[in-house]
Amino acid sequence: MFSPSYLLAVIFISIQGSCGQIVMTQTPDSISVSPGQTVTITCTSSTGISNALAWYQQKTQQPPKLLIAGASSRQSGIPDRFSGSGYGSEFKLTINGATEDDEGKYYCQQYWSSPLTQ
């Protein structure tokens, strides 16, 4: 039978390991493009998250709009110039032939584990 101190140590290690938050790093921080250019934004997670990644666009004074879910599934009504790719810990959002209407903030969000992080 295990000693009480051994069980306590095992429980503490298990709890400590599950409290870590996934860190998302997005590059570049900002970018300026001319209409017609191709834009690529990269998002890296601190641990593998399968394909549990979403890309959002946010315009001034508007709520975020979901562009891509599942790392690569474009949402209904999103123009096909937007595409997502990646798996594990490396992801990309590509805008082929950017237009003035694409101006805004873009960010990735993982939904592999709680809390959701951007």
Q: What are the tens digits of pLDDT across the range 51-72?
A: 999 999 998 899 999 999 999 9
Contact, 37 vs 98, CB < 8 A?
yes
Q: Is the pLDDT of residue 36 over 80?
A: yes
Q: Whose CA is closest to 53, among 76, 83, 80, 84?
A: 84
Q: Is the pLDDT of residue 15 over 80?
A: no
Task: Say if 45 falls within a structural domain.
Answer: yes
Q: What is the count of structural domains for the chain?
A: 1
Q: Whose CA is closest to 102, among 85, 82, 76?
A: 82
In this prediction, residue 66 carries a pLDDT of: 97
CATH of the domain at 73: 2.60.40.10
Query: Would you state the structure tokens that stand for residue 13, as one six-digit string?
Result: 């290690």
Task: Say if 78 falls within a structural domain.
Answer: yes
Task: Say if 79 falls within a structural domain.
Answer: yes
pLDDT band at 5 (very low <50, low <70, confident <90, very high): very low
Q: How far is CA 65 from the centre of its chain?
A: 14
Task: Say if 115 falls within a structural domain.
Answer: no
Task: Say if 14 falls within a structural domain.
Answer: no
Gap between the Cα atoms of 20 and 85, Å rounded? 25
pTM for this model (two decimals): 0.81
Q: Is the pLDDT of residue 10 over 50?
A: no
Q: Is the pLDDT of residue 18 over 80?
A: no
Domain that holds residue 105: 21-110
Task: Say if 33 falls within a structural domain.
Answer: yes
Contact, 78 vs 67, CB < 8 A?
yes
Query: Would you state the structure tokens that stand for residue 114, as one six-digit string?
Result: 């709680």
Task: Say if 16 falls within a structural domain.
Answer: no
Per-residue pLDDT tens over the stretch 89-99: 999 999 999 99
Task: Say if 4 falls within a structural domain.
Answer: no
Task: Name the 3-class secondary structure at 32.
Answer: coil
Gap between the Cα atoms of 57 and 19, Å rounded? 29
In this prediction, residue 19 carries a pLDDT of: 53
